[in-house]
Amino acid sequence: MYKKFGISLLLTLLIVSSFSQAVSAHTFNPANPKAQSTTKELMNWLAHLPNRTENRILSGAFGGYTNASFSMTEANRIKNATGQSPAIYGCDYSSGWLEKPYISDITDTIDYSCNSDLISYWKSGGIPQISLHLANPASSTFGKNASHISNSEYEKILDPSTTEGKRLEAVLNKVADGLEQLKNEGVPVLFRPLHEMNGEWFWWGLTDYNQKDSERISLYKQLYHKIYHYMTDKRGLNNLLWVYSPDANRDFKTDFYPGSSYVDVVGLDAYFSDDFTVQGYDELTALDKPFAFTEIGTQKQDGNLDYSSFLNAVKEKYPKTIYFLTWDEAHSPAVNKGASSFYNDSWTLNKGEIWSGSSLTPIAE
């Protein structure tokens, strides 16, 4: 009896071991089939992080808008507070949503001078992330992109023969110039365009609070596809991992999803009062893509965001999370609670823990 039980147990262990090896051996490829080899390696590595027992969630922070506030200050503050630097460091090429004086040329809202810092960050063991708060091509002044546009104006932006369409093309061309610099240096990028589309505050998103607009959703998908094909097919930017990130506090999180052929990572921009009740995790992970908290912060902005509590929530409720990224100074780990515990937890990967010599750390640890 004991011998039979021992054989059964051995067979079970062998089956579990074989399954684990098969999971680890499975290759996850980027949406872009022409992705650079390093970008492919990074995509596969990111997708396997949830299979680890530790070293499985990347820390991240936003460094600012290039033409407004970008610097290494946030990374340095976190390093001083925790002894660690964030694994992912973000830059926004466009602060077009901010109040500014009159700007006559929409391309002046794009600035990619943060590239030199991002290249250095990659070479020293970090991963760059780039987002875009694009100015509104339907406007004649480009100091703010939060103004709503009609669906007919949206259609004009998609039409390359219109003034609005030409403005969009000019913006995309300048953004691509910046991304191309990173490509030429062999730097893969977590690229997050058109985020929080299910909210009502950006021109590319909904216009009313939690009011579904099927035409608007279709226009958004067309715009996302247009940007993807411009960057990938026209400009050959094969260093991008495309990130889709709706807002956690609005509905229709997957209605805008542009399709698995256009997305590498799905995530939530989550500003919460209770980190155990963030909405959308099951909905987003059902898309069968690596999942991240692409922005996190507290709704109160009172210095009481507890990052150790957030990590406990990730472990218990959102275990497929591969990275998080904190947004602006009010949400910084350096001025909130539990930062050192979070950054030094066995689950957390920081800058310098991603690379082993000239290659990524092993998929299975």
Q: What is the dihedral of CA 272, 274, 280, 284, to 10 degrees?
A: 90
Region for residue 270 given its phi and psi (left: phi exceeds 0; alpha: psi -120 to 50; beta: otherwise): beta
The rounded distance, in Å, linking the Cα atoms of 53 and 345 is 12
The pair of structure tokens assigned to 288 is: 């069968």
Angle (deg, nearest 10), helices 115-123 and 163-184: 30
DSSP 88: E
d(CA 128, CA 117): 9
Position 364: which residue type?
A: A
Strand partners, 296: 270, 326
Cα separation, 139 vs 185, whole angstroms? 35
Farthest-apart Cα atoms in the chain, separation: 84
> For residues 82 and 345, is the Cβ–Cβ distance under 8 A?
no
Q: Could you give the 3-state DSSP secondary structure of residue 65? A: strand
Positions marked catalytic: 196, 295
Amino acid at 113: S
* 251 to 200, 213, 281, 336: CA distances (angstroms): 11, 12, 12, 28
Q: Of 156, 255, 266, which is closest to residue 212 (Cα–Cα)?
A: 255
